[in-house]
Amino acid sequence: MIRLIEKGLMFGNLVHISSPALVERYNRALQHLAGKTTALTDFHVDISGYSPEVGIELGDELYLNPNGVNRQFILLTTEQKRAPLLNVKFSTSRDILREFIEMNEAQLFALTATDAVAGELVNSVFKLTAPRDLLNLRKIEIEADTVGGTLRKAEQLAGMVERFKTEEDAWFDDVLIAKMIETAKETGDVTRNPVHLRHTAFEQRNFWTAHFGGLYLFPDLDYPAAICMGERPDDVPIEHVFEPTQRHRIAAFLNDNNLVETIIEARGVNAAAVLQQKMDFLTVHAAADAGVDLTGLDRSDMRRLARNHADRLPEAFHGLAQLLRWASDGGPWPRITSDHPAYFYTLRAADTPNRDLVNMLLTELAPLDPRQMFICHKELFYSTYKTWPETKKAYVADFLAREYQVDKAGARAALFGHEPDMSGNDRISEDIIARVGPWGAVRKG
């Protein structure tokens, strides 16, 4: 994985913590949440405050996420909102944390100026014992405070102020006045500057979880279903439960709920270029299995590889080739139904609130497209990457660093539709989308 880290494809955009004051605050928060501390003086954290270096030191990559449920977090700076979430167990967790930070940014900025904010994504389940428990995770609430209890004390002070204003003899209550003065030294004037976090409850409707071998749950649709990537569970309380081999049923589910569109019909996409790139990835897969050196491949090299290893090319390659001939040369329209291996390679998520979740699912159903996997399902990408031959690892890492890293937002917009960037600026001009190649390289001229 060193190759991915060096190219900025793994652990990218983490927040560097090296200040002694921040390290000390982190240790206080870590002790408060998990009863542990780190001896490291220099490490990186994700949006939740999880550090891969601290995880290695403690021998526990779930030290802020016990049992993979009720994720805890440590905020040292609001800049963490731009960081990824590592060791994802639920597809909604990062969005919830980011929205929480953005909705309370001014308050959190003030609080983290002097202390760490520690908290937890709380639901009614503390340990998942069966898949049926997942549907109890519909509402997520965030509980948070500084390690020193600033918010709790501010609430107490506000109550004392109200008593002072309303109780008849409060002016003569020396104990109450003394407590107010002492608490105000820690919280400031809560009458002029109320300290309160808002928007701390979130609905978790349709989501993916890494638990039970990987499950996609869509209970909140007109035609609900669950799709299990591991062993089929018996106790999911949804009428329809599908496995990856049930391609017809999954295709019908996606279409009945209007969750997908074909690459050919998608607006603003150079369909021929997208199809060609997918075919290139399938060619690379076949060549890598044959032990071919994939260094420095160009278009003619890719055609040569496809010819030389035609007997190894997966059936999906030939279906995409037929579709490419139609898109490029006006050839006959190919009949690619859901039983064809190319079918899910020809789809992308429609523009619905479930777009990102559907693109994750399509990634698992079309697993030989590493670029889509890297964009839409990083946990799957990293686990799959470990199984590849070295020559394929090198090719994919070089490709992503060269083509995708150049223009992440543009590449995602061109492939999957409009996607706001991490700064919250959700305006991407049509001109930019038109100029960006489907795999990230800006066209000249």
pLDDT at 332: 76
Per-residue pLDDT of the chain in tens (445 residues, 90 and over written 9): 888 988 888 888 899 999 999 999 999 999 999 999 999 999 999 999 999 999 999 999 999 998 888 899 999 999 999 999 999 999 999 999 999 999 999 888 888 888 899 999 987 666 788 888 888 788 889 998 888 887 777 666 566 666 767 777 767 767 766 776 776 666 665 445 556 787 778 888 899 999 999 999 999 999 999 999 988 887 888 889 999 999 999 999 999 999 999 888 766 667 888 898 999 999 999 999 888 888 888 778 888 888 888 888 999 999 999 888 887 777 777 788 999 999 999 999 998 999 999 999 999 999 999 999 999 999 999 999 999 999 999 999 999 988 877 667 766 766 776 443 333 333 323 332 232 223 233 333 3
Encoding tokens for residue 29?
């928060």
- Is residue 356 within 8 A of residue 419, CB to CB? The reply is no
Q: 279 - beta bridge partners?
A: none
Residue 386 to residue 393: CA distance in whole angstroms:
8
pLDDT at 11: 87
pLDDT at 292: 87
| Exposure letters 351-370 (e unless 16+ CB within 10 A, then b) | eeebbbbbbbbbbbbbbbbb
3-state helix, strand, coil in the chain (%, to 5): 45, 10, 40
pLDDT at 65: 93
Q: 218 - beta bridge partners?
A: 225
